[in-house]
Amino acid sequence: MNRIASIGVVGALIAALGATVAAALIEGERNTPNPNDPAANRHITLKLGHAMDQQHPVARGMVFFAERLAEISDGAVTVDIIPNGQLGSETELLEQVQHGALAMTKVSTSPLESFVPEMAVFGLPYLFRDEAHFWNVLEGPIGRELLLKGAQAGLRGLCYYDAGARSFYTANRPILKPDDLAGLKIRVQSSETSMGMVKALGGFPTPISFGELYSALQQKMVDGAENNPPSFRNTRHFEVCKHYSLDEHTRVPDLLIVNEKLWQQLPAQTQEWIQAAVDESVVYERRLWQEDTEAALAAVQEEGVTIHYPDKALFAAKSAGMLKQYEGTPVGDLVERIEKVKP
């Protein structure tokens, strides 16, 4: 458990927040009490749980967020980060935030689909033309709208962290064209969109817990999986899968989520501090991601992995029908708007 610090707000805040979110907070005394200002001497620790390894770029981005928040607020607002899935899977963490047992979490958009159906748009293959197009969407009106889509379910998005592009890696043969997926069991996240994507490309989607994937690959329960380069390296899946095909079928970001009721009851100044620290952490994490992606690809090649660069147009053509399935739905409307955004 990575204890970052204590958080300070006015002493009456705990009562104002109410029982439904009180479990997400820890009240205490500040490290440098001011006897002339009792309210300033109180602090609250916002608990942030996530399921990532602490060396992952996104995990390091959240540590940066917590450190900057402590600095910006002069110790008045800080965060206690509980990493490595100690509090559960991403779906379980979302439920804890939703019910007020946890203040914040980081999740991929894939498990978020169960709470915010519009997030399925990120699981659609080749919707984003390239990285520039992807970030123009996320940093524009569409991205801001999607961050707030979960507010009614008690889940407010604060930012997007870069999680790169997802590509296929396999044990016995490379994926150079869609037909190479025929007959292969490919592990996917527990998401209807992720499963639909693999089906559209000709493979057999197999939802398996991420923590169980290494042994599933070893025991040949699945033939491969799909993920970004840093995750492929950090999980050591390269020890089993020696072919990594950079088809980059989807760009699925990570979101930092906060309990909506808690957010609304925080003082305006506290909200400003948190958002400022979050925004800085996004810039920091995106730089880390680029560096880590390059390092990861180099590292796995040294371990005997062959990097393949298939023709993405073949995969985009094969899966184009999947986007049409959403015509006339809220996700389909988002697709139309995203396709009109300039790269």
Residues 336 and 225 in one domain: yes
Residues 36 and 155 in one domain: yes
pLDDT digits (tens, 9 = 90+) for 24-46: 666 555 554 454 544 455 678 89
For helices 141-148 and 131-138, the axis angle rounded to 10 degrees is: 60
Query: What DSSP state is assigned to residue 76?
Result: S
Residues 222 and 318 in one domain: yes
> What is d(CA 33, CA 30) in angstroms, rounded to the nearest whole number?
6
254: β partners: 108, 161
CATH of the domain at 185: 3.40.190.170
E-only strand ranges, the chain:
25-29, 42-49, 78-82, 104-108, 155-161, 165-170, 185-188, 204-207, 224-227, 243-251, 254-259, 306-308
Residues 212 and 244 in one domain: yes
Q: What is the pLDDT of residue 53?
A: 86
Q: What is the pLDDT of residue 44?
A: 81
Residues 196 and 267 in one domain: no
DSSP 202-231: T-EEEE--GGGHHHHHHTTSSSEEEE-HHH
Looking at the domain assignment, is residue 227 inside a domain? yes
Residues 86 and 156 in one domain: yes
pLDDT digits (tens, 9 = 90+) for 175-234: 999 999 999 999 998 788 889 999 999 999 999 988 899 999 999 999 999 999 999 999
Residues 154 and 175 in one domain: no
Q: Number of folded domains in the chain?
A: 2
Q: What is the pLDDT of residue 172?
A: 92
Residues 214 and 68 in one domain: no
> What is d(CA 299, CA 244) in angstroms, rounded to the nearest whole number?
13
Flag residues of the chain having pLDDT under 70.
1-42
Q: What is the pLDDT of residue 20?
A: 46
Looking at the domain assignment, is residue 59 inside a domain? yes
Q: What is the pLDDT of residue 341?
A: 96
Structural domain of 316: 165-252+311-340
Looking at the domain assignment, is residue 300 inside a domain? no
Looking at the domain assignment, is residue 7 inside a domain? no
Residues 40 and 185 in one domain: no
pLDDT digits (tens, 9 = 90+) for 234-253: 999 999 999 999 999 999 99
For 206, other C-beta atoms within 10 Å of its C-beta total 19
For 89, other C-beta atoms within 10 Å of its C-beta total 16
Q: Is 320 helix (H, G, I), strand (E, B) or coil?
A: helix
Indicate the pairing of strand 25-29 with strand 42-49: antiparallel
Looking at the domain assignment, is residue 126 inside a domain? no
Q: What is the pLDDT of residue 22?
A: 52
Residues 179 and 323 in one domain: yes
Residues 225 and 174 in one domain: yes
Q: What is the pLDDT of residue 23?
A: 58
Q: Is 132 helix (H, G, I), strand (E, B) or coil?
A: helix
Residues 263 and 224 in one domain: no
Q: Which residue has the tokens 């810039």?
A: 283
Q: What is the pLDDT of residue 110?
A: 86
